[in-house]
C-alpha cells in the first residue's frame, strides 16, 4: 500500500478509502489518464471509492490490483461498461460483455482469427497500402500523419477480413470506424456522432453476414468475416446477424485504432532523435521491440477498464461488495514507480533488463486466451514494428513547428493536430 498523505474517509464497514467529493465525474474527465493514479497516491491506497457518472465506483491501480481485477471468480464484465461505451465503442452483444464459458468460447474465435500465421498476411497488406499511399503523401501539403494512416489500415484490414470495400466507399467507412473509438467519450455532440457511426457500421456489415449464410455472398474461408459468420455459440446456434456484425467490427475497429500507436511511435522518434540513429541499422530485434514496448507503456491509450464485483469478498483487509462497479487504472499502472523506475521517463533501455509482467497493461491484464486481455495485442506490436521499419528505412519527412505536447484530456491522447508532417520523401 502507498503511504497516506491525508487521512482518508472510509465507507462504513469496508475499509476502502473514499473521495470526499459528492461526484468526481468532472474531475475525472478533466484528467482521464492521471486522475485515478493521483487520487490513489493521495489516499495512500491502491483501492479507493469515488462517485463516477453518479454511481459509486471502486477504483483500483497497480500490479497487485491488476492480478485481482482479472480474477474472473471475483469480477465480471457483464453489465460493467457504461451504456455510453456499449452503444459506441463496443456494441451490444460483443465479447467484451461476456463472462466464464461463454466468454472463453467467443474469445477462442478471436484468438483463432489473430493466430500469428494469419496475421502475417495482414502485416503484408498494411505495408503494401502504406507504400502505395506514399506517392500521394509526397505531393501533399502538410498533413496529419494520424489521419493519413487511418485509410491505409482500413483498406488493408477490410481486405484481410473478407469485407468488400470499394474505393469510393473507403472515406466513409474509415470515418465510421474511427468515430467508434475517437468520439465515444469526446463530449455530447461527438458521442452522438459515434452512436450514428455505430448504427451505420453495423448496418453495413449485417447484410454481409446474412448474405454469406444464405449463399448469396461467398466469403473466403480463411477470413475473419467467414469465421464470424459461421461461428456457433455453446448451444450450437449461429450468432444473430447483428451480433456477428458487432464482432466483425471488433476486428476492424481495433486495427484502425493502431493508427494512434503508429502516430505516437513517430512522435517518440521525433522527440527522442537519439533512437533514430540507434535503430537505423535494424527495425527488428531487441532494441526495436524495446522501443515499441516503451511507446505502449509510456504513452496513453485507454485510461481504464470496467468490471463489476461478482460476489462479496475480502482482500488485504478491504471488503468488496457484490455488484459494485470497478475501474482498473491502465495508465497509472503503466506509470507506477513500484514497477517502473523513472516511470515518466521514456526509456526503451528498460526492456533489456525488464520483461513484461502484470504491471504492463496497455491492453489490459490477464491471459488473452482465458481472460479479458485484448486478443489483438500481438498484432498491435507487429504493426508498430512495421511502422518503425517504414519510418526509419523507407520514408523521410519534416515536422513543421506545431504543438507536439499530447492533449491529455483527449481520448485517445495525441498532439492536437495529430502530428503534422510535410515534405515526404521516399528513400527506399
Mean pLDDT of the chain: 91
Q: What is the pLDDT of residue 367?
A: 65
Tally the C-alpha atoms within 13 A of residue 68's C-alpha that lie toward its C-beta.
23
Is residue 5 in a domain?
Answer: no
Is residue 175 in a domain?
Answer: yes
pLDDT in tens, 246-287: 999 999 999 999 999 999 999 999 999 999 989 987 666 789
Beta bridge partners of 52: 55
pLDDT band at 41 (very low <50, low <70, confident <90, very high): very high
Is residue 13 in a domain?
Answer: no
158 is in an annotated binding site: no
> 149: which 3 cell numbers?
494512416
DSSP assignments along 106-126, one per residue: HHHHHHHHT-HHHHHHHHHHH
- DSSP 3-state percent helix, strand, coil across the chain (nearest 5): 50, 10, 40
pLDDT exceeds cutoff 70 at 356? no
Q: Contact, 388 vs 266, CB < 8 A?
A: no
What CATH number is given to the structural domain containing 364? 1.10.630.10
C-alpha torsion sign, points 187, 189, 191, 193: negative
- Other CB atoms within a 10 A radius of the CB of residue 254 amount to 22
pLDDT exceeds cutoff 50 at 119? yes
Q: What is the pLDDT of residue 79?
A: 84
pLDDT exceeds cutoff 60 at 9? no
Is residue 370 in a domain?
Answer: yes
d(CA 320, CA 302): 25
> 128: which 3 cell numbers?
503494401
Strands 55-60 and 325-329: parallel
Is residue 378 in a domain?
Answer: yes
Is residue 103 in a domain?
Answer: yes
At which residue does the C-alpha cell 456494441 appear? Answer: 91
Is residue 326 in a domain?
Answer: yes
DSSP one-letter code for 4: P
pLDDT exceeds cutoff 80 at 342? yes
Phi-psi region of 175 (alpha: psi -120 to 50; beta: other; left: phi over 0): alpha
At which residue does the C-alpha cell 461498461 appear? Answer: 81
Is residue 4 in a domain?
Answer: no
Q: What is the pLDDT of residue 1?
A: 42
d(CA 315, CA 162): 46
Planar angle of CA 266, 269, 270, nearest 5 degrees: 85
pLDDT in tens, 173-205: 999 999 999 998 888 898 899 999 999 999 999
Q: Which domain holds residue 182?
A: 25-426
**Angle of the 241-271 helix axis to the 145-161 helix axis, nearest 10:** 140
Number of structural domains (the chain) is 1
Q: What is the pLDDT of residue 370?
A: 52
Amino acid at each position: 500500500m502507498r503511504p497516506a498523505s491525508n487521512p482518508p474517509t472510509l465507507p462504513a464497514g469496508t475499509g476502502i478509502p473514499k473521495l470526499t467529493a459528492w461526484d468526481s465525474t468532472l474531475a475525472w474527465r478533466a484528467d482521464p489518464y492521471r486522475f485515478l493514479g493521483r487520487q490513489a497516491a493521495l489516499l495512500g491506497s491502491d483501492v479507493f471509492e469515488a462517485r463516477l457518472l453518479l454511481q459509486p465506483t471502486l477504483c483500483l491501480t497497480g500490479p497487485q490490483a491488476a492480478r485481482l481485477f482479472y480474477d474472473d471468480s471475483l469480477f465480471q464484465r457483464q453489465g460493467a461498461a457504461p451504456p455510453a461505451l456499449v452503444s459506441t465503442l463496443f456494441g451490444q452483444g460483443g465479447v467484451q460483455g461476456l463472462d466464464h464459458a461463454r466468454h472463453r468460447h467467443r474469445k477462442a474465435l478471436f484468438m483463432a482469427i489473430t493466430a500469428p500465421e494469419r496475421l502475417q498476411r495482414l502485416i503484408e497488406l498494411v505495408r503494401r497500402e502504406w507504400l502505395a499511399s506514399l506517392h500521394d503523401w509526397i505531393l501533399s501539403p502538410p498533413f496529419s500523419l494520424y489521419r493519413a494512416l487511418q485509410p491505409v489500415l482500413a483498406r488493408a484490414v477490410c481486405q484481410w477480413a473478407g469485407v468488400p470495400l470499394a474505393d469510393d466507399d473507403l472515406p466513409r467507412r474509415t470515418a465510421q470506424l474511427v468515430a467508434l473509438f475517437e468520439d465515444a467519450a469526446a463530449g455530447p455532440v461527438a458521442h452522438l456522432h459515434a452512436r450514428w457511426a455505430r448504427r451505420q457500421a453495423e448496418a453495413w456489415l449485417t447484410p454481409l453476414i446474412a448474405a454469406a449464410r444464405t449463399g448469396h455472398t461467398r466469403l473466403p474461408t480463411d477470413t475473419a468475416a467467414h469465421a464470424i459468420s459461421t461461428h456457433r455459440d455453446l448451444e450450437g446456434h449461429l450468432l444473430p446477424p447483428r451480433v456477428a456484425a458487432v464482432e466483425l467490427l471488433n476486428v476492424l475497429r481495433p486495427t484502425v485504432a493502431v493508427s494512434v500507436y503508429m502516430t505516437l511511435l513517430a512522435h517518440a522518434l521525433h522527440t527522442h532523435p537519439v533512437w533514430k540513429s540507434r535503430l537505423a541499422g535494424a527495425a527488428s530485434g531487441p532494441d526495436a521491440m524495446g522501443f515499441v514496448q516503451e511507446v505502449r507503456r509510456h504513452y496513453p491509450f485507454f485510461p481504464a477498464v470496467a468490471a463489476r464485483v461478482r460476489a462479496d469478498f475480502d482482500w488485504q483487509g478491504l471488503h468488496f461488495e457484490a455488484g459494485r462497479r470497478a475501474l482498473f487504472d491502465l495508465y497509472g499502472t503503466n506509470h507506477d514507480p513500484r514497477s517502473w523506475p523513472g516511470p515518466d521517463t521514456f526509456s526503451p533501455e528498460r526492456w533489456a533488463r525488464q520483461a513484461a509482467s502484470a504491471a504492463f497493461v496497455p491492453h489490459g491484464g490477464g491471459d488473452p486466451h482465458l481472460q479479458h486481455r485484448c486478443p489483438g495485442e500481438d498484432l498491435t506490436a507487429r504493426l508498430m514494428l512495421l511502422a518503425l521499419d517504414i519510418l526509419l528505412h523507407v520514408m523521410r519527412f519534416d515536422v513543421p513547428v506545431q504543438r507536439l505536447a499530447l492533449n491529455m484530456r483527449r481520448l485517445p491522447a495525441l498532439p492536437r493536430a495529430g502530428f503534422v508532417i510535410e515534405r515526404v520523401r521516399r528513400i527506399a
